[in-house]
Structure 1
């Protein structure tokens, strides 16, 4: 994947999040502040617009630009978390102009680690990590098995979707949702849901199917 592909990933992510903003907000209304979709739509639209004006000449620069936009424009807890994820992923790519299967996997792992460190959360806490963690693992397993970017990103997106479904019976232990205790059981985590969209966008771009 080159710089244009990473720009396309951000654009496709913004498109999907905008399309699903109401659903993300509905999920958040059940166990959070009810603003996840609204905030994330604003953040990704700002990131998409910022990239149109920025001279981001490498994949890493694209992701770091997105990270800055999300931190400054998104609001709520998701801004710093997703912003950190994209910035750490971008830093891991350094000045590479082309990103292969292994390096993209490392960047996804860096994103996971960034969120985990900032949010002090772990898989099983009913957060976005419950989608991203399985996705990173599935990606790496697929890559080690010889999958190309299309296969590995598809495996990641599918694993993220399964991870999202597994948040339903979980008890939230982090963030605003944790204050609701057992009332969070039976609901999908909105952060995991938005993570699925971002990884679905990545798989779409890798397959050359983005609109």
Structure 2
């Protein structure tokens, strides 16, 4: 079972990397309006590094938590900007959430999403409404917990999670940035979707496509 879960997590990161690569220019354009116009490049470098490092893994000898821990180290080594430590902490927390798990089900998926959001909160000292990636991750975590409690099907679970993340990201358009580089432009950030939230949706969509069972 753990081998299958490991393969699915590796496939998840491959899908994330492909999704980010396809939208890299768009993410940088979003960032150009309120930041340094490098978010797409940063995310691309991070997930390409994760993909390369995971390709070296012996799937017969590792657990799902090891995949997340490897992703954390690879992302941090590749990305020196603030996004690097944020996602590295997120993936480390996800590794802790998956400790002892040998399969991927809705419960472990919900725990992983919650851990990622919590890790980003912890590292960035942010909250919902700051106009950051948390505005996608935290609603996604809430939706995952609610769908799990309501005993929804896998398809319903992931549909709710993606919809919540997408709505959260879109809501950043009406926010004034309180954290990150965008906070330097304050009111000028109004009317723009936060690039971190936009890329978070890409990540969550790729998770849904590969973990859904």
Pairing of 1:36-47 with structure 2 (within 5 A): 36-47=39-50
Partner of residue 17, structure 1: 20
RMSD: 1.3
Partner of residue 89, structure 2: 84
How far apart, CA to CA, are the structure 2 residues paired with 1:9 and 1:87?
16
- Aligned to 1:121, the other structure's residue is in SS state coil
1:95-126: CA deviation from partner (whole Å, max 9, x where unpaired): 32212211221221111111101101000000
TM-score, L = length of structure 1: 0.94
Alpha-carbon distance change, 67 to 45 in structure 1, aligned in 2, over 3 angstroms: same
Deviation at 1:16, TM superposition (A): 0.1
Q: Which residues of structure 1 form unaligned runs of 5+?
A: none
Partner of residue 176, structure 1: 181
Partner of residue 75, structure 2: 70
How far apart, CA to CA, are the structure 2 residues paired with 1:99 and 1:111?
16
1:129-175: CA deviation from partner (whole Å, max 9, x where unpaired): 00011111111111111123333222111110010110001000001
Q: Which residues of structure 2 form unaligned runs of 5+?
A: none
- Aligned to 1:76, the other structure's residue is in SS state coil
Partner of residue 56, structure 2: 53
Deviation at 1:55, TM superposition (A): 3.4
- Among 197, 203, 210, the residue aligned to 2:208: 203
Does the 8 A contact of 2:158 with 2:208 survive in 1?
yes
Aligned length: 208
How far apart, CA to CA, are the structure 2 residues paired with 1:152 and 1:78?
27
How far apart, CA to CA, are the structure 1 residues paired with 2:58 and 2:85?
23
Does the 8 A contact of 1:85 with 1:112 survive in 2?
yes
Which shows bigger deviation, 86-95 or 173-182? 86-95
Does the 8 A contact of 1:150 with 1:206 survive in 2?
no
- Among 36, 41, 52, the residue aligned to 1:33: 36
How far apart, CA to CA, are the structure 2 residues paired with 1:27 and 1:94?
36
Deviation at 1:83, TM superposition (A): 1.4
TM-score, L = length of structure 2: 0.93
1:47-83: CA deviation from partner (whole Å, max 9, x where unpaired): 0010001336221111111111111102311111111
Partner of residue 191, structure 1: 196
